[in-house]
Chain A
Amino acid sequence: MTEPGHEATRSAIEAVWRIESPRLIAGLARITGDVGAAEELAQDALVIALEQWPVQGVPDGPGAWLMATAKHRAIDLIRRRAAYERKLQEIGRDAALRPENSGEPDVDAMDDHIGDDLLRLIFISCHPVLSPEARGALTLRLLGGLTTAEIARAFLVPEATIAQRIVRAKRTLTARRVPFELPSRAEIPGRLTSVLEVIYLMFNEGYAATAGEDWMRPPLCAEAMRLGRVLAGLMTREAEAHGLVALMELQASRVGARTDPAGEPVLLADQDRRRWDRLLIRHGLHALVRARSLGGPPGPYEVQAEIAACHAQARSVQSTDWERVAALYVVLGHLTPSPVVELNRAVAAGMAYGPARGLEIADKLVTNPALASYAHLPAVRGDLLAKLGRLEEAREEFGRAAALTGNERERALFRARADACVTAVSGSG
């Protein structure tokens, strides 16, 4: 396998796997009724490909080849299970592992429902019986085709932890007999919320690492955005699916401007807007129009996307429609009441109606225990105080923010702002 030709084939196989594995696993889960078994069957097909393709060459339709190979294995598995069932019945015991349809599986029906199967796979990977951590890991594994090592690197946790999370998740789904089905119409809103949460958490984990030295982990962002697009394409009538896509695309459009050449973070106000990704902005605004067009009261992702759109469409901080941003934060505060939303409203109100108005809102949050160790509260207050010329207080607030943040680069940024207050004080004094 060290031959360069073989290495190249191996990379090609991995690429095919990434493209095909979600559909493969989804189709296999439909015929076996078990996500764990489906993933193993798909992996078996991959192993066979890794053995055969470097020698025989990559087949013309590699996806179809993998599907056919896995289907054969699935038929074997189901036949073995059926035989096991019969044996159990012969000896007069009730079958514990009765498959939904016994007998010959309709493997050809697999190709006709790829969209539905993918959607089932998304819903089952994000099922509420699983812990939030397990949902993220399982989703990346089953729908992203990522290896355990890649998922571990993305979440900055040991590989063994991820391996365990995935094994446990699959076991839980089997033990709780979670069917490979689409949620009923009545269940959809709740279940969709869980799916959107998993995707947005994944995106945020990549977008702003809260601990460690990395400001962001782009592959996680990219994967979350891809999954969001897949979901929105499958659930075209769900406004919040489009809302989430819009939110992620608009936020990601700023990635290129969020750090300076030295890797230091650049805050929204200081970003070079020419470096924003116009393609992603266009995509985000388009998704937002889709979300709006579906009618009904906007959900939290759509409202957050509306806020991001205000920034994306403004040529500068000054020309931003801050009154609209502040009003949208009021709406968001009704939908998802949170002191962080209130803090953001303080920032927007400070821009729209002056720093005193912003500070008035932010001051009310100082006694909120939920924000006791939240670095951005003192950072926002520091900024508003500095704008009001209360530099000594501002310096203290930035010092507090630097002490609270877990992100190295953010700390450096807050320290610099604290130092700037000192310079300004001594300069004016």
Chain B
Amino acid sequence: MRYMMLLSGTNPATPPPPELFEAIMKLGGEATQAGVMLDTAGLLPSAAGARVSLTDGKVTVTDGPFTESKELISYALYEVRSKEEAVEWASRFIKVHRDHWAGWTGSTDVLQVMGPVDPAGP
């Protein structure tokens, strides 16, 4: 079962401490060693991006930053055997933020990627 993890959050005024990067790298290394992480990358702030939308038949392009308070921070693709396993890895990444960056708040959406053997929706 493949899961897409989307991490979003609100950064405190303090810069991210080097220990956070260290811990994220370590945990990422563990997930890779366990053979479950297929892909991951960090995302630049939405100020560097754009949004293409369709409203009432009209396509509009809006440059970032987007107005939401939370920014998407990174994505990761996992191949695991259960939703609980995906949730466990997501929890570990969230806890790393709690332990190393005071004031940071955020969340990870754990979404199952539709696969050849998965039912096509609920």
The chain A residues found within 8 Å of chain B, CB to CB, are 11-12, 14-16, 18-19, 22, 60, 62, 115, 118, 218-219, 222-223, 225-230, 233-234, 255-256, 259, 275, 279, 283
Q: How far is the CA of A255 from the CA of B115 in the complex (A)?
A: 9
- Asked if B33 is an interface residue, CB under 8 A from chain A, the answer is yes
Which residue of chain A has the shortest Cβ distance to B99 in the bound complex?
Answer: A60
Number of interface residues of B (CB under 8 A): 21
Decide if B39 touches A11 in the complex (CB within 8 Å). no
Known: A12-B87, A19-B88, A255-B116. A226 touches B95 (CB 8 A): no
Which residues in B have their C-beta under 8 angstroms from that of A255?
116-117
Nearest Cβ distance between residue B42 and chain A, in whole angstroms? 18
Q: Among the listed A115, A118, A222, A230, which residue makes an inter-chain contact with B79, where contact means beta carbons less than 8 Å apart?
A: A222
- Whether B81 pairs with A219 at a CB distance below 8 angstroms is yes
Q: B49 near A: Cβ within 8 Å? A: no
Query: What is the chain A residue whose CB lies nearest that of B98?
Result: A60
Q: How close is A143's CB to chain B, nearest CB, in angstroms?
A: 10
A275 CA to B1 CA, complexed, in Å: 17
Chain B residues whose C-beta falls within 8 Å of the C-beta of A223 in the assembled complex? 81
Report Cα–Cα, A129/B34, bound state, in Å: 27
A and B contact pairs by CB, cutoff 8 A, 19 listed: A11-B84, A14-B84, A15-B84, A15-B85, A16-B88, A18-B82, A22-B34, A218-B116, A222-B79, A223-B81, A225-B79, A226-B34, A228-B35, A229-B35, A230-B34, A233-B32, A255-B117, A256-B115, A279-B38
In the complex, the 10 A-B pairs of residues with the closest C-beta atoms, listed nearest first: A15-B84, A256-B116, A229-B35, A226-B35, A15-B85, A230-B35, A11-B84, A15-B88, A218-B117, A255-B116
Secondary structure at the B interface, as helix, strand, loop or mixed, is mixed
**Chain B contacts to A: CB under 8 angstroms:** 1, 32-36, 38-39, 77, 79, 81-82, 84-85, 87-89, 95, 115-117
CA distance A229 to B36 in the complex (A): 9
- B31 closest partner in A (C-beta): A19
Task: Specify which chain B residues have a CB less than 8 angstroms from the CB of A60 in the assembled complex.
Answer: 95
| CB neighbours of A14 from chain B (8 A) | 82, 84
Please indicate the chain A residues that have their CB under 8 angstroms from the CB of B1 in the complex.
222
Q: For A11, list chain B residues within 8 Å (CB).
A: 82, 84
Chain B hits for A18, CB < 8 A: 81-82, 85
In the complex, chain A residues whose CB is within 8 Å of the CB of B79: 222, 225-226
A229 to B34, CA, bound (A): 8
Indicate whether A15 sits within 8 Å of B82 (C-beta atoms), given known contacts A218-B117, A256-B115. yes
